[in-house]
Chains A and B, each alone.
Chain A
């Protein structure tokens, strides 16, 4: 132990490395291609690091949502009574589970997005003003108009109150057994409040900005870089294959007798699924699902190979730029650990609630 530490100190002094974190306030001096927060090379290393973390959160958060949707669909398709649909889902699952994510990433990035797609001039036009080009995807994006503030406020209010009303009314029903129509009431709030906001702001709260082709590139709308698209698509498609298996196993783990008993009690099909099968299946599904989410977050570090500036890529540049390998490494690993621990902490609480409700 002593030897290791003295080795570090000797090496550090020899190579002019410092182990302090003081460099964080210095100017970073390197550009980052895309950042969720304003950033220029003259900003500090601290800002650069935060931008990297935010990029990781962006791609991981979006990836988790999309992978869950796609994975659930494929998992249900795998269980379909239709032989062909079930086989198609199997082909999708086996096709994605058995190749390395990195190869999938290169296949999408190098093989498809940057070589097979046309240049900006003759972009592939998706239905609607969405353009696929070598330089990424250009899409329409809503912008809040000056008079749109009431709408935004009411939208937020609607979401918050709908969730709150749902929780409260549901609890009342569980306690007293009276019908409280929690689903209808909160759905009503969710629709009515933003609608009111829409009228207050004069019916024009949002302006949809479509990308337009100018001399060299598209302007307006939202631009997804090929790096981001490749990373997101490959993370989603790869993880969805694993989530599909998790979903399938979870639903299959619920005994057939449960369905039959629920039907015998006179529940209709949607109640059988929603009140009997799903709560039991979720108990099996949630724990492996958590680890898939964590895998997706950690796998987003593969962005390093295509240069998407997330946490790992930015840390790697910071090591070269600041010359302080050890502190940057500690920060990076700490950030990943924090994300892992936080995700598993939150989802474990949810998991515990699900498990408790059932018994």
Chain B
């Protein structure tokens, strides 16, 4: 029944119309739904656009932009944060070239955020900062190009990430010797800087603890497995806010009176402990998915218990749970907002204090919280897109 080329075909509807007929107007109730949705979209979009452009008063955001980003970080030391951003740009560009498209999502997101900071009318952002922000996307692309051109390998890059993490820490915190890099008290850090710091440090610290807890829970030693099971279930059974208060109110009672920790540090410990319990369950899921044949085979080749775990089980298990861990990072990133309850100056507490501190902002609450929500949304959404990319790259769904 193949059609002869000279046969007259019935006229086909144009592709767009056909698509609309199949996807929007296939039945009468679908047509009704489509029209209703169009009405909803029209009403919300116009109302939102009118609010964003005309009604909303963005002064609390534009006048305090630097406060939202870095808190009370000394304004004459801002170059240190700039240097950290530049280091991140360099690493991100080369990582994108070597580790592929998952980091591209993140690179593009960050680059567009930098451009937005450069062009939007934020009051406290100086022209020099704007130029610097515009330079960063170029920096990302430059290292991307260099890494592609000269075939950089991945091991030095990994070491580069670790070294720069340490460098950035000392850059931001200060050295305190010889007047160069005067120390900045952690109490002065704030805003998005602290949010990102809490999330990144929290996930990095909770990862090894979580892996150990998961291994302990599956251990054949009853003491280990019972203890870690109780710990995990206890932590997972109570809200994060109660853990935060536990570490800021109760734990100091258990320490010698002369030991004092910074608020931020206490919040970080609480977030780490909380996140480690969830991490342990995620890792355990990965461990359980390893067929026992793998372990038996490893034994048969003569590997010790330790080597079986380290060389055979963990690498396969961790590979499988990477998307879940990214998901957990997103959760942790969002959960950092709870630290505002224990007086950590992350971005949400900055928002609250800005709103409380200025009487004329009293009715401009929606504007500030929409701004905060937008920041979180952009970061979380780009990470979840990246995580879906990793999933397809690893072929997790295909097995």
Contact = CB atoms under 8 A, between A and B. Distances in A.
A340 interface: yes
Given A103-B372, A110-B355, A312 B242 contact: yes
Given A103-B369, A302-B338, A94 B363 contact: no
Contact of A81 (B23, B237, B257, B341): B23
Contacts of A103: 337, 348, 369, 372-373, 376
Given A102-B338, A336-B237, A336-B238, A115 B253 contact: no
A106 B238 contact: no
Interface string B219-257: 000000000000000101111111001100110011111
Interface string B363-393: 1011001101100110011001000000000
Contact of A302 (B241, B257, B351, B376): B241
Contacts of B366: 107, 110-112, 115-116
A102 B348 contact: yes
A11 interface: yes
Contacts of B365: 106, 110-111, 114-115
B38 interface: yes
Contacts of B249: 319, 325, 329
- Size category of the binding interface on chain B: 35 or more
Interface stretch (A83-91, A197-205, A215-223, A265-273): A83-91
B242 A333 contact: yes
A298 B37 contact: no
A80 B36 CA distance: 14
Interface SS majority for chain A: helix
A326 B253 contact: yes
A129 interface: no
A340 B237 contact: yes
Interface stretch (B26-34, B162-170, B302-310): B26-34
Nearest to B36: A85
Interface of B is mostly: helix
Interface string B140-179: 0000000000000000000000000000000000000000
Interface residues of A, number: 51
Interface string B27-50: 000100110011011000000000
A12 B254 CA distance: 9
B241 A301 contact: yes
Contacts of B257: 10-11, 14
A312 B37 contact: no
B78 to A, nearest CB: 26
Interface of B: 23-24, 26, 30, 33-34, 37-38, 40-41, 234, 236-242, 245-246, 249-250, 253-257, 330, 334-338, 340-341, 348, 351-352, 355, 363, 365-366, 369-370, 372-373, 376-377, 380-381, 384
Given A88-B41, A102-B348, 17 more contacts: A7-B253, A17-B253, A88-B40, A99-B376, A99-B380, A100-B334, A100-B336, A100-B376, A104-B373, A106-B365, A116-B366, A298-B239, A298-B240, A299-B239, A304-B241, A336-B242, A340-B238
30 contacts: A17-B253, A81-B26, A82-B30, A83-B23, A84-B34, A85-B33, A85-B34, A85-B37, A88-B41, A94-B381, A97-B384, A98-B381, A99-B376, A100-B334, A100-B373, A101-B334, A102-B340, A103-B337, A106-B351, A106-B352, A107-B370, A107-B373, A110-B365, A111-B369, A301-B242, A329-B242, A329-B245, A333-B234, A333-B246, A336-B237
